[in-house]
């Protein structure tokens, strides 16, 4: 029997700045529900229960653009560097629905900027 829901346990990632000609930096993390990704690519979900042969029912996609038409659930400002937020199942994702994590940053003058975003979840 496939799992009924996905429970998000941790949101993490970061913003890295290199070759900085910085005059100001701003960063944010946005958690949203549903929405549409433009030109998404699919990633394979990793099962951390090494004794299980079950595969995840979650479909993991990523895009370089933020989702459109999504409902914002949480917004948090970020500093440059890593972040981690334990949400311990506060976000429940039923089959057919989506949760999005957007990590973005901007520099006012110039430099190289990279952002990463990670979800950890369990399925019941």
What digits encode the pLDDT tens for the residues 65-110? 889 999 999 999 999 999 999 999 999 999 889 999 999 998 887 7
pTM: 0.86
Give how far Cα 70 sits from Cα of 34, 56, 102, 113, Å: 5, 23, 11, 25
Give how far Cα 119 sits from Cα of 22, 109, 123, Å: 29, 31, 13
As beta bridge partners, residue 31 has 74, 101
Least confident window among 3-7, 96-100, 118-122: 3-7
What digits encode the pLDDT tens for the residues 13-61?
Answer: 999 988 666 678 899 999 999 999 999 999 988 878 778 788 788 888 9
In which residue are the tokens 């100001």 written?
Answer: 24
Looking at residue 46, its pLDDT comes to: 81
């Amino acid at each position: 029997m496939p799992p009924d829901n996905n429970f998000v346990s941790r949101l993490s990632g970061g913003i890295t700045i290199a070759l900085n000609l910085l005059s100001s930096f701003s960063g944010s993390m946005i958690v949203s529900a549903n929405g549409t990704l433009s030109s998404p690519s699919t990633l394979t979900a990793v099962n951390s229960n090494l004794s299980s042969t079950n595969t995840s029912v979650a479909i993991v996609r990523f895009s370089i653009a933020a989702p459109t038409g999504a409902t914002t659930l949480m917004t948090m400002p970020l500093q440059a560097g890593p972040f981690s937020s334990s949400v311990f199942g506060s976000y429940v994702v039923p089959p057919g629905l989506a949760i999005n994590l957007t990590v973005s940053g901007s520099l006012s003058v110039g430099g190289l900027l990279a952002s990463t975003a990670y979800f950890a979840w369990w399925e019941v």
